[in-house]
Structure formats: C-alpha cells, structure tokens
Amino acid sequence: MIKEMPLTQDEQMELEALLLQNYYEDASEDLLSFTEATFQKFKPKGFHKKFYEILTLFALGIIKNLIISMPPQHGKSEGSSRRLPAFIAGKRPDDKIALVSYAATKAQKFGREIMSIMREREYKKIFPDVQYPERGYTGAKANTNENRESINSDGSMKFVGVGGPLTGDPVDVLLLDDLYKDWEEGNSPIIQQRVWDWYTAVAETRLHNDSQQLIVFTRWSENDLIAILEDKGYVKEWKGEQDLNEFIESLDSTEFLKINLPAIKEDEPNEFDERERGEALWPEKHSIKKLTSSRDKDPDKFDALYQGDPVNKDGLMYNPFKTYSELPPAKIRKNYTDTADKGKDYLCSISYDVPLSKTDEHYYVVDVVYSQEAMEKTEPQTAEMLKRTKTKLAKIESNNGGRGFARNVQTLVKRACAINWFHQSGNKESRIYSNSATVNRCLVFPDDWHIRWPQFYKDVTKYKKEFSANKRDDAPDCMTGIIETETKTGNDDWGDSGVI
C-alpha cells in the first residue's frame, strides 16, 4: 500500500490558488456560478438552476430573443435584472445594454444595484478588466442614474421607464422587466396600448440585426406585450418536450423562445421541469397550501400571476355559470363520460342530478373526474365516483377505446349503476358551439367548484369561441353531451347501443 505524502506548505498554497482560479473562471462562464460567487446568501433551488441555465444561454448569445414568465416573489429579477446585466457587462464589455421597467425610478434602482455588484471585490476578481465609474467620478464618461458608460471600453447601460427615451446609441441587449406596475395597469387598455406603442416606436428603433431581447415579467393580462407578440406569431414556447438546442436552432432570428414556469405544475414531468403534477415551484418559500389558498380566493388572477396563463374575457364561449349551495330534490342521478381521445387529452366524467321539479330546467353537477392519467387509473376513479355518488345511469362514449372502458367500469360498479356505451359521430366543434347557450343556462355547479376541480374549472371558464385558441375541449365536450342527452338532440337519450 502506497502511503500518501502530505502536501508541503508551498504545494498547499499552489493548490488553493489553482482552485480559486478555477472558481473565478467558472464564475466568468456561467451565470449561476457568477451569482453564487457575488451573492453569498443565494441558495438556489432546482428551478433556479434551470432558470439560470437558460439565462446563461442568453448571455452567451446562443438564445437571441427570450421570454420568461414566472410567478411573483420567485427570484425572477435577481437573475434577469441584477446579476445578468452585470455578467453580460463582464463577458461582453463593448455591449450597450438597456434595462426597461414600468417606471424610470424602478429601472434606475436596478441600475444602482447592478453598479453595486460591479464594485464588489468578487466581481473585480471575476472580471478584472471591467471599469465603470465609481462614486465621485468626474471624468468624461456618463455616470448618472439614467446612463452609465464604461471607462475603458465602448460598453454602456441605460435605465429607463416605459415612455422614456432610448435615443443616441444603438442597443445591443434590451432587457424588459415588469412593464406593468400592478393588476390595474396590466389590465388597462390605455396602459396596454402605451406599452405596445413605446415598444414598437422607441425600443425597436434602437435595435439592429444582432441585438438581443429578454422580456421577463409576471403575467397580468392576455393583452400584455407577451400576448401581443404571441398573437402576431413571433413567439414559440418550449415546454421541455424536445431537445432545447434543436428548438433554439429552429427559431427564426425575429422569433422569441418562450419559457413559462408555473407556480403549480399542471402537466407531466419533463426534462426542463421535473416536478410531478400538483407540485409547487418553490415549496420552501411558497408552499402548495399557500398557493392553493391564493388560487381558491381568485382563480382568474392566480392563473395570470402565478401560472402565467391570463385570459381575456372577450371571446369566451361561456358566461359565468350558475352555482348552488344546496342540491334540490332529484328525480335521478346520471353520469356522462367522455374518454380521452389522445395521450394528452383528459377523460371527463360528470355525475349530475335531474331535478324532481318539472319546472326546473337545470341539471346540477354533483361530482367530476377530470384526468390525463391512463385508463387503468381512470377506470377505478370513475367507478369509485359512480358508487360514492350513488349514480344510477351512466352514458360513456365508445370512441377510441370507450367501449372497453365502459365494460371495465361496469365490472367495477357491478349492479350499483347501469352503464350504456354509444358511438359519438357528431362534429365536436359544431356540437359545442350550437349547444353552448343551453349548456351555459342549464348546467349548475357547486359554489366551490373552482376549489374542487381547479383544472376542470379552468378549462371551462377559459374556453374560447375561437376553437384554435383552446388547448383542449374535453370539458366543454362532456358538458355538451349532458345537454344533448337530456334534450335528445344527440344520440337518442340512453339507447343506441343498449345497457351493458
């Protein structure tokens, strides 16, 4: 066995110097390492590492135009508007950077914080050649809250509010952070138009072929800057389902790569966002209990602010639905089930009451199963709901495996509920649209349905008349089936195929 010899004092010092050199070299190449070196209290979580990885690709010029939407109080501005500009100034000292926020005072505060980072001892060890004016500087280079110029390079930084000037120099890197102050401004048509006009008439006129843009803010409205760019076809969203480098290479030079980080995960895990469905983005600071409480209080605001999914109520298929706090006496409890057509579709199964009163035209929704899970899971879930709610008759679409689903559910519920399967041949869009008014008028939901079935509620209340604008139609399709069944406008009530 070879005995290891202890390092001499000179060797130990040489090793420590080498490790320190590697430490600073890593910090000069990677934004996360840079942030950890210049912000000792920074304790990144999993999503921070992914966020900083994307920002590094932007800083290195691999991503040209980038949009990131994140919930409030999740460290968005620390990465994008404090550390990133300081990092770019070190990597690309000749670049002219412009940082824009909803007000000049907000942008200038970012500017002072960036300068504080660049004056720190650690920064100067990472980027020793970068020189911006210190306090008390009286030289020829600009050193104001609005404009700061590098002493020994062509680089500069401007900090302006929406509506402010960007005249004089071209902009190599345009950073837009929180262009709307609050909910009121974000949903004001006047402010929305003002932001768009400033962006096209002022900001874009300072850009050139190689300029980069980063737009990062909490979403407020479906008419904000991100939404307008999306509507005009300049945005492609990456959801982690394909190789990022291939996705970046597929983008045109005028297109934005968009990444949304929702506070609560709503889809399956992927390479970028490995959370399971229903997990919080930053549970150590914003627990799922806290987030769920916020969502329950105002689901529409929550979807915009925390999920990055705002909705414009113009063009919605449905008006607000009627709700109940107590169920009226029922003649019978029924169910309508639409099985998932494709891998990403939702199974939608709704149990509802037909009222005892002949003068009551409503149908009262009692329970819902709404799931993307495989049939081996949704079959027992549906059967359990049918038994728990004491549903007597169930109608299941037999398209795309629905017949087998119906048979398996019947086996599970035994004689507790009669199952009928049928083939749905009607055009989905036509059926949904033509029955929408009746669906809206006749279906009544529990007054807490946004809490009981949040994804179902979201897919119903945000459903658009413009069908191509919708992510899915499983919930409206199933609700339409109920109305067709009860009004006999679809397949003849409960019998074109017989009861199993």
Nearest-CA neighbor of 327 among 308, 309, 303, 351? 351
What integer pLDDT is reported at residue 490 of this predicted model?
47
291-303: per-residue pLDDT in tens? 999 988 888 889 8
Q: Which CATH number fits domain 28-305: 3.90.245.10, 1.10.357.10, 3.40.50.300, 1.10.3720.10?
A: 3.40.50.300
**Position 420 pLDDT exceeds 80:** yes
d(CA 483, CA 440): 10
> Is residue 101 predicted with pLDDT exceeding 50?
yes
pLDDT, mean over the chain: 89
Q: Is the pLDDT of residue 209 over 90?
A: yes
pLDDT in tens, 44-98: 888 899 999 999 999 999 999 999 999 999 999 999 999 999 999 999 999 999 9
pLDDT band at 235 (very low <50, low <70, confident <90, very high): very high
Please compute the mean of the pLDDT values over residues 254-268 and round it to a whole number: 92
Read off the tokens for 37. 């070196």
Q: What pLDDT score was predicted for residue 48? A: 92
CA angle 77, 220, 231 (to 5 degrees): 105
Q: What is the pLDDT of residue 492?
A: 43
CB 172, CB 158: distance < 8 Å: no
- Specify the domain boundaries for CATH 3.40.50.300 within the chain: 28-305
Segment 273-280 shows an average pLDDT of 91
Asked whether residue 341 carries a pLDDT value surpassing 70, the answer given is no
Q: What is the pLDDT of residues 356-368, one digit of tens each?
A: 999 999 999 999 9
pLDDT of 383 > 60? The answer is: yes
| Residue 137 banded pLDDT, cuts 50, 70, 90 | confident
Query: pLDDT (tens digit, 9 = 90+) per residue, 16-55?
Result: 655 556 778 889 999 999 999 999 899 888 889 999 999 9
pTM > 0.85: yes or no = no
Asked if pLDDT for residue 244 goes beyond 90, the answer is yes
Q: Kindly report, as residue ranges, where domains of CATH 3.30.420.280 are found in the chain.
A: 322-487
Domain 322-487 has CATH 3.90.1150.10: no
pLDDT reading at 224 higher than 70: yes
Question: Residues 122-149: what's their mean pLDDT?
Answer: 89
Number of neighbouring beta carbons within 10 Å of residue 104: 18
478 confidence band (pLDDT: 50, 70, 90): very high
The distance of Cα 173 from the centroid of its chain, to the nearest Å, equals: 24
